[in-house]
Structure 1
Amino acid sequence: MSPDKMRYQANQIATFFASQPEDEQIDGVADHINKFWDPRMRSQLFEIADQSTEGFKPMVVAALAKINRPEKIGSAG
Structure 2
Amino acid sequence: MNTEHLVKMANQIGSFFSTMPDRDQAIADLATHLKRFWEPRMRKAFLEHIEKTQGAGVDAIVLEAVNRHLQQLAV
Aligned-residue identity in percent: 31
Aligned length: 70
Structure 2: runs of 5+ lacking an equivalent: none
Deviates more, 1:34-43 or 1:21-30: 21-30
Higher-Rg structure is 1
| Cα deviation, residue 23, structure 1 | 2.5
SS of 1:6's equivalent in the other structure is helix
Gaps of 5+ in 1: 71-77
Task: State the Cα RMSD in Å.
Answer: 1.2
What is the TM-score normalised by the length of structure 1? 0.82
Which residue number in structure 1 is paired with residue 74 of structure 2? 69
Match of 1:60 in 2: 62
Output the TM-score relative to the length of structure 2.
0.84
Q: Distance in 1 between matches of 2:64 and 2:33?
A: 14
Q: Which amino acid aligns with 1:39?
A: P
In proportion to residue count, which structure has more helix? 2
Whole-Å Cα distance in 2 between the matches of residues 23 and 62 of structure 1? Answer: 10
User: Could you tell me how far 1:2 is from its partner in structure 2?
Assistant: 1.3
